[in-house]
Amino acid sequence: MTRIFNKTTNQEILIDETNELVKISPKLYEEDNPHFDIELKGFNFNQHTLTCNECKSFKDSFGSNDLNWFIEFNNTPYRLDLSRFGKEHNISQNKTITSDYFSGTKLRLKIFINSKEDLERLLEEFVKKEEYEKCSILSRQIDSMKE
């Protein structure tokens, strides 16, 4: 069972990857673009968010600086980078598709590597770019890892 969860709000979404309609592909080896590809055949995620509070909360965080969402795959949690969504290959995506080949939802969820050292390197990049709001959020996350 793969789990998408928010540590702050205690919300979680469970995805049964043993279901033949679900395909989860971790792409952790892509050095510049570590992410998970999730295919949900016959499932319209956007429509589902109208009736499911957890999924709505998750979708509402798309495009935000919220660093509290994680995906847990094979008992290993990975922090999600939901800050940018769009069509480019190297950012997160949310697509609902209806075609002869595939009908359903495809999600690409970028991740941060989950070590404190990687988060500190990311913080340094944000400082150099003068992205202070992200610096503040990331600093709080780094501090919470010390506990």
Give per-residue pLDDT as tens, 16-43: 999 999 999 988 766 677 889 999 999 9
Give the pLDDT score at 49. Answer: 95
Please tell me the pTM assigned to this model: 0.74
Give the pLDDT score at 127. Answer: 86
Give the pLDDT score at 30. Answer: 67
Partner residues linked to 39 by β-bridges: 23, 106
Mean pLDDT of 44-66: 93
Range from 64-73, 112-121, 128-137, 138-147 that averages highest in pLDDT:
64-73
Spans of all domains in the chain: 2-114, 115-147
Q: What are phi and psi of 37, to 5 degrees?
A: -100, 130
* Res 114 pLDDT > 60: no
Which residue has 């800050």 as its token pair? Answer: 83
* Res 2 pLDDT > 90: yes
* Residue 147 binned pLDDT confidence (cut-offs 50, 70, 90): low
d(C-alpha 23, C-alpha 114), whole Å: 23
* Res 131 pLDDT > 70: yes
Give the pLDDT score at 91. Answer: 61
Residues whose CB falls within 8 Å of the CB of residue 31, separated by 6 or more in sequence, listed in order: none
Q: What are phi and psi of 102, to 5 degrees?
A: -150, 130
- 3 state SS of 88: coil
* Residue 83 binned pLDDT confidence (cut-offs 50, 70, 90): confident
Residues whose CB falls within 8 Å of the CB of residue 47, separated by 6 or more in sequence, listed in order: 96
